[in-house]
A and B are shown apart, each in its own frame.
Chain A
Amino acid sequence: MMPHGTTSGGHSRPEDPDPVTVAEDLASVTPAAKHARTNALWAALAAPGVIWLLLFFVGPLYVVLAIVFGRTDPIFRTAIPVWNPLQWNPSQFNYVLARIFGADGVFGPALLRTAVYVVTAGVLCLLIAFPVAYYTARMSGRWKGLLLALLIAPFWISYMMRMLAWVNLLQDDGLVNRLLSLGGLFDVRVHWLTGQPLVVILGLVYGYVAYMILPLYAGLDRLPQSTLEAARDLGASRVASFWRVTLPMCRPTIIAAVLLTCLPMLGDYFTSDMLSASPRTSMAGNLINDSVQSPGQTGQAGALVMLVLLVAVLPMFYYVRSTARGDLSS
């Protein structure tokens, strides 16, 4: 049990409270003391989770900082974390910044490419996800259950398996090339898997679009049908009622869905690795992955992690704030 607060009844607490005295006790405490007591109960329930997140979520992010601004062992090339922020040395961070923006900016193109890929893939995802979610939520009728089951399928089919499926199809002698050659009519020998930006972008769309459909579905499913019918009854055309009623009403959902889809893409390296394996399509995630795996570049990897985190932090907090608000209003 929780430590008992001061009770107002004035009677002394028995060492081993039996149920009857506890009930009397509860009846005699002031509401404030009772409130404090139950509050302590809720705090105790939440404590393990909070401690876990502090230890294994906040803690590791601090370790990254300590390594980025720490030293490197001159002989073994291993990173030595420096815990005191006053002794932090920005040389590794500056080195990475120089390689992004400086004259020998080898990281710059990859970061720019990441932005282009993620924005393009995000737009394509929305173009696919919105009609699909809209149809499923509002028009599918008795097919809704089946459709939903099929839309959820990509969630439990492993991402790697879905990429493997495309690796098989896009081989030089794969089904895609054979389909394009129309049974040997044309000689199609497209090397899809050797650094084609389009393939990587479509791979990202393929991998992530399901994560956009489901939140959009939930938002569109909640739209009141009567409001939309009212718009049509009052003379709005299909397009006008969509543009002036449906879209404004689900704008928060759209933004949340786009963020949920695009934020994970920022750290994606495996889609590019699986579908292109060429530095011509490497993204921010590839820079991180490559430097994590080469000895002596730990600090560099950490600096890149911090940079991606910095880019992601604003949209992330926007998402978190709007979600937390939604919690309060519901």
Chain B
Amino acid sequence: MRSPVTWWNDPWRPPRILVGVTMAYLAWSLIPVLIAVIFSFNDGRSRTVWQGFSTRWYFGDPVKSVWHDATLHTALLQTLKLGVITTLITVPLGVMFAIGIDRWRGRLPAGANMLMLVSFVLPEVLLAVALLFVVTSLSLPVGLGTGAQVLGLVTFQIAYPAVLVRARLATIGTQYEEAAMDLGASPLAALRRVTLPMLLPAIFASTVLVFADVIDDFVLVRYLSGTSATEPVSVKIYNSARSAPTPALNALATLLLLAALVAVTAGYLVYRRLTRGDTTTDRGLAGFAGEG
């Protein structure tokens, strides 16, 4: 046992306060959500008093469970639908944009890059109001509802794959592509057969991140939803959280949580597989989340 004085004088002593703050933060950030999940299995109507375990708010209750209440499961389906459609449009668009911007020399691409980064940090409500004005005051073929929601979400999310792919392009460098072209490949062939395979992990990670982000979106999808049929889960929670809802709302939120958890976990496992034996990528979670 070391004396407190030696402990205090040890220059490499792990600072206890940092451990404390980190643990306290994690508890504060995750326990409330955990409690909300637990109460989705409550047998009674209360979201504050535990009355025994049941799955009645998932499918047991013939009227108010997520399975039987149409307003709840349409919201879940709408959320997943928006997630899939938006991801399918955003990722190719963002990847092409990133590759193009990265190599294209001139003032125009520099401006486009700025524009992309601005769309990354702009408060979401500003874009949402602007798009709402566009859809309601111009006669467009796209009305409020899924179409407008997808337009808005793609615009807001396009920076995600673009930033991730550009970061990856910077670490790859140009030497592989130049080698391919020296060996006779056209720029397009070098891109397709050398660069794209090397970008695959970043592209994949951004696919997962865009999907996870879209199914959590609230501001854009709320303004651009037409009727209650196109209101996704987040809007449903916002609308009913303060008006004495049943634990079915918690159940709905838990199902969304589960969808995101499955997407992110499966995504991470595939990402590990894609980067197997790759020493140029951060294979850890940080690399997957685009912070590597």
Interface residues of A (CB under 8 A from B): 22-23, 26, 38-39, 41-50, 52-54, 56-61, 63-64, 67, 78-81, 128, 131-132, 134-136, 139-140, 144-145, 147-169, 171, 173-175, 193, 206, 209-210, 214-215, 217-218, 221, 232, 238, 259-260, 263-264, 266-270, 273-274, 277, 285, 288-289, 292, 298, 301-302, 305, 308-309, 312, 316-317, 319-320, 323-324, 327, 330
Contact = CB atoms under 8 A, between A and B. Distances in A.
Contacts of B48: 168, 171, 173-175
Interface centre among B126, B137, B249 (most CB of A within 10 A): B126
B188 A41 contact: yes
B138 A57 contact: no
Nearest to B152: A56
B289 A206 contact: no
Contacts of A128: 21, 25
Contacts of A48: 93, 96-97
Contact of B130 (A45, A64, A147): A64
Contacts of B30: 150, 153
B99 A50 contact: no
Given A135-B21, A150-B26, A67 B233 contact: no
A46 B32 contact: no
Contact of A218 (B134, B187, B286): B286
Interface string B84-99: 0000000001101101
B212 interface: yes
Nearest to B244: A171
Contact of A46 (B104, B213, B257): B104
B119 A53 contact: yes
A156 B264 contact: yes
B122 A152 contact: no
Contacts of B124: 264, 267
A175 B35 CA distance: 10
Contact of A45 (B22, B99, B249): B99
A155 B106 CA distance: 36
Nearest to B46: A173
13 contacts: A23-B184, A42-B99, A44-B100, A50-B115, A78-B137, A135-B22, A150-B30, A161-B257, A232-B11, A298-B133, A301-B129, A309-B126, A320-B114
Given A155-B212, A320-B114, A46 B123 contact: no
Given A49-B93, A128-B21, A132-B25, 10 more contacts: A42-B109, A52-B158, A56-B131, A57-B155, A60-B133, A152-B289, A157-B33, A175-B48, A206-B28, A320-B118
Range of interface residues on B (Cβ < 8 Å): 35 or more
Given A46-B97, A63-B133, A266-B123, A52 B155 contact: yes
B257 A42 contact: no
Contacts of B225: none
Contact of A292 (B132, B234, B242): B132
A171 B241 contact: no
Nearest to A293: B223
A218 B292 contact: yes
Contacts of B96: 45-46, 48-49
B194 interface: no
B35 A145 contact: no
A273 B96 CA distance: 39
Contact of A159 (B109, B137, B216, B261): B216
A169 B134 contact: no
B158 A38 contact: no
Contacts of B186: 22, 26
A210 B101 CA distance: 30
Contacts of A163: 237, 241
B170 interface: yes
B187 A60 contact: no
Contacts of A319: 117, 121
Contact of A168 (B35, B213, B257): B35
B180 to A, nearest CB: 13
Contacts of B7: none
Interface centre among A26, A41, A160 (most CB of B within 10 A): A160
Nearest to A65: B130
Q: Which 4 A-B pairs have the closest CB atoms?
A: A46-B100, A49-B97, A267-B123, A45-B100
A236 to B, nearest CB: 10
A238 B11 contact: yes
A158 B260 contact: yes
B269 interface: no
B277 interface: no
Nearest to B20: A131
B93 A154 contact: no
Nearest to A299: B133
B29 interface: yes
Interface centre among A78, A161, A273, A292 (most CB of B within 10 A): A161
Given A175-B35, A330-B170, A139 B112 contact: no
A58 B115 contact: yes
B256 interface: yes
Nearest to B125: A267
Contacts of A320: 114, 117-118, 121
B286 A52 contact: no
B100 A49 contact: yes
B11 to A, nearest CB: 6
A225 B36 CA distance: 41
A98 B127 CA distance: 25
B2 interface: no
Contacts of A148: 284-286
